[in-house]
Amino acid sequence: MRAERRLRALVLAALAAVAVLAACGGTSDRRAAVAEHGSEVMPFDLDATTHRFTPVDDGLVQTVLVRDPTDRRQVGLVRAHLASEADRFAAGDYGDPAQIHGAAMPGLADLEDGAARIEIADAEVPAGARITYATADPALVRALHRWGRAQVADHGSGGSS
């Protein structure tokens, strides 16, 4: 079942990657395509949030913050989405990032293959949520760092390291 789900996610991601590549010639075109695919996956307003991917010694910290902390609806959407993503990532399902960024996203295949060796925890933070990825495997730490850098590169000013 997991293999079928992974194959389906990879096929969908490959199709999304082809669409992204076909739609973009330069960095700004790619960012526009990534933003479009992101809005299909993430239920909150991407323009109203900031995404941070902070490399740490044992992995990565992903934080999504709503720029207007009084916008309780957006904060709730961010928190629910990151909690759901943390569960999916812990099960080795990285289909959403693949759909947004393409199946060839740096680090992605390593994270899927090594999912059982990555501890994933989500937490609410003021104005948003956080996912912490931790592993004792140096190769997976490097994969997490590559994956985080790719997120920042694709999201432009909306994603910062």
Q: What is residue 63's three-state secondary structure?
A: strand
Contact 81, 74 (CB under 8 A): no
Q: Is the dihedral of CA 36, 40, 45, 49 positive or negative?
A: negative
- pTM score, two decimals? 0.73
Interval 70-86: pLDDT, tens: 999 999 999 999 999 99
Interval 87-133: pLDDT, tens: 999 999 987 776 765 777 888 899 999 999 999 999 999 999 999 99
**Per-domain boundaries in the chain:** 2-160
Give pLDDT, residue 43.
58
CA angle 151, 33, 24 (to 5 degrees): 105
Produce one character per residue of 63-83: b if its CB has 16 or more CB atoms within 10 Å, e if not.
Answer: bbbbeeeebeebbebbbebbe
Checking if the pLDDT of 69 tops 60, the result is yes
CA angle 78, 111, 133 (to 5 degrees): 50
- Residue 150 — pLDDT band, cuts 50, 70, 90? confident
The sheet carrying 159-160 orders its strands as 119-125, 128-134, 59-66, 49-56, 159-160
Per the rule left: phi > 0, alpha: psi between -120 and 50, beta: everything else, 62 is: beta
